Amino acid sequence: MSRTRLAVVTSVGLVALSAAVFITRRATGGADVEGPPGTSSWEVSLTARGRLDLEKAGPVVISTPLEFRRQHIFDEAWKSDGLARREGRGRDAKWKRRPGPPGAEKNQEMYALTYTFRCVLGTHHPTPAMRERTKELDHPPTPQTDGTLASAPRIESNDREIQDLARDLSADLAAAPDQVRAFNDHILTLPVRDTDEAGGALDCLRSGGDAAGRSRLLVALCRSREIPARVVTGLVLNPNAPPTVHYWAEAFLRSPDGPEGHWVPACPTYGHFGVHGWPANYLVVRLDDEPLVRGPGDPRLSLFARPLVDRPAADEPRIKTFWRIVSLASLPPPEQHLTRFLLLLPVATVVVSLFRVVIGVRTYGVFSPALLGLIFRDLKGLPWGLGIFAGTVVVGWLFRKVLDRYNLLLIPRAAVMLTLIILFLIVVVVATARAGVHITGYVALFPLIILTHMVERFWTVEAEDGTRASFKTLFGTLLVAVAVAVALSPDAIGRWLFRYPETLGVVIAVLLLLGRYTGYRLTELYRFQDVIEFKAESEPVKPPAGEKQVEAGGKNEALVEKVSVTGEPNGKPVGTPVATPTGA
């Protein structure tokens, strides 16, 4: 079997295998499997709007739900017109003003960002990552360091009024759970008053308060009796009404038989108490009383939620259980983000291969334009990002010219290049910040090793083929990176690959077929269009002079008998006939 036929057969097999997995997944209900089964599942959208403070361009921070206990978060998506997200760890997403041309600051004063996610509440079988996160966040408190017994500005547990009330309410109660319940029941009798979520415990005690003030009062009463407690900020998800930001409290109650204990929730607004019977539509976002959106311009938050199909686990078919186990949506949110990026990388290499093999655009390798395109899938930041990248490569090339005079060894030279590139990027960051343009969200994404390697490749191409060829290859790299960014910018592509990872079989099949492509590239057809002649198949082929056309086997197959004549010492010619098809 020829190699081309082997590649075609393998590609057909991969496509058939991917289609079989896809059809099986759809037929058995695996297409709707998203995350572990639970009591209910929701799709939630948080939209923050505000006005940027151009003089104090601090970040806008939006908190994302915690992945712990029995709540699972997946399928996160971000969208903003005036802000750019800064990459980083943690569940707090930080957004900065998007870079723009000079004079465009007035158009960027108003901003809006939307965070959409799906969640499963009451997960029947928490994943190992959820259990580890629960151990981290629900560990026994250490009051000396975590402040669960300390007085705070809006939790005045040391105030005499609060201490007297706590003493009166718990006078006849020795057990801590009974004391916490008594505190919770007393706060329920206080008047409800809207204080814009800024009221403290003492204000709530004197004149009533909203959910935030009532929760702070409950925490203050617990702390005054040496019971560790904290405020919880979350969402209440309702199927027939928009979700609401809600506050409640948690007290750490130790077991009477030992030092072990657990956090017990209490809602002094609606009267809920204890883990058993706790509402299944409470979603924990923060384990403190900070707002969900923080930043300049007094951001306003609007919420939307819709219930998804409930997923009972008792009578679930085994095949559907299997799809749940292998579903990528069961991963923790950070791993989900990484998986989405990794799934898009093979598709990006398909775009690069098409440009290099079929069109004939030269680039610096395959992964450099692919990674660049994936980094700048946000097309609004594409001009700034690629411009900074191209400028860095050109400046690094100038540095490389200077270092060439020293004739350094490879490793020290690469280290010096890396240092010079970092110094240049620092200068760019400082200069743009002075001009009111913030580019840290883009520069932080540049792998410095790739930048250093790119400069070396630029220098190598220049040394071998000249400066024009090196700049032409740089331009081709940027062009292909733009194509990758445009092709993979729709969120639907990432969602499809994340939901149906078997699509990678089709990607491999396409790459195998491209690997056996031996035809003309489009750029070659353009360059050599004056010398390429296309003849009709019916046009007879005339043999060159000195060659004779014969009929072979009575078939209409023209053969050309080529005779090479050489001379021997005696002067007699020797003919060596070679018959080949005229189309060879």
pLDDT in tens, 242-269: 899 999 999 999 876 556 789 999 999 9
C-alpha–C-alpha distance, residues 235 and 233, integer Å: 7
Q: Residue 275: its pLDDT value, please?
A: 87
Q: Residue 285: its pLDDT value, please?
A: 94
Q: Residue 282: its pLDDT value, please?
A: 95
Higher-scoring residue by pLDDT: 230, 431: 230
C-alpha–C-alpha distance, residues 401 and 126, integer Å: 57
Asked if residue 555 has pLDDT above 50, the reply is no
Asked if residue 60 has pLDDT above 60, the reply is yes
Q: How far is CA 272 from CA 38, 250, 262, 266, 583, in A?
A: 21, 11, 17, 6, 87
C-alpha–C-alpha distance, residues 290 and 301, integer Å: 14
Q: Residue 560: its pLDDT value, please?
A: 39
Asked if residue 135 has pLDDT above 70, the reply is yes
Q: Residue 257: its pLDDT value, please?
A: 59
Asked if residue 453 has pLDDT above 80, the reply is no
**Highest mean pLDDT: which of 262-276, 287-301, 402-416?**
262-276
Question: The tokens 């979700």 sit on which residue?
Answer: 243
Asked if residue 578 has pLDDT above 80, the reply is no
Asked if residue 161 has pLDDT above 60, the reply is yes
Asked if residue 536 has pLDDT above 70, the reply is no
C-alpha–C-alpha distance, residues 473 and 422, integer Å: 24
Q: Residue 181: its pLDDT value, please?
A: 93
Q: Residue 354: its pLDDT value, please?
A: 93
**124-128, 212-216, 358-362, 562-566: segment of lowest average pLDDT:** 562-566
**362-371, 545-554, 573-582: segment of lowest average pLDDT:** 573-582
Higher-scoring residue by pLDDT: 149, 329: 149
Q: Residue 390: its pLDDT value, please?
A: 81
Q: Residue 583: its pLDDT value, please?
A: 40
Mean pLDDT value of segment 46-68: 81
Q: Domains along the chain?
A: 39-310 (3.10.620.30), 334-526 (no CATH)
CA count, 13 A, side-chain hemisphere, 582? 19
321-354 pLDDT per residue, tens: 788 778 888 788 878 888 888 899 999 999 999 9
**How confident is residue 195, by pLDDT bands cut at 50, 70 and 90?**
low
In the chain, what percentage of residues exceed pLDDT 70?
79
Q: Residue 346: its pLDDT value, please?
A: 92
The pTM for the full model equals: 0.70
**185-189, 240-244, 435-439: segment of lowest average pLDDT:** 435-439
Please answer whether residues 283 and 117 qualify as being in contact, where contact means their C-beta atoms are separated by less than 8 angstroms.
no
C-alpha–C-alpha distance, residues 511 and 7, integer Å: 10
Q: Residue 214: its pLDDT value, please?
A: 93
Asked if residue 569 has pLDDT above 50, the reply is no
A 10 A CB-CB count for 567 gives: 9
172-181 pLDDT per residue, tens: 888 899 999 9
C-alpha–C-alpha distance, residues 378 and 56, integer Å: 25
**114-123, 181-190, 554-563: segment of lowest average pLDDT:** 554-563
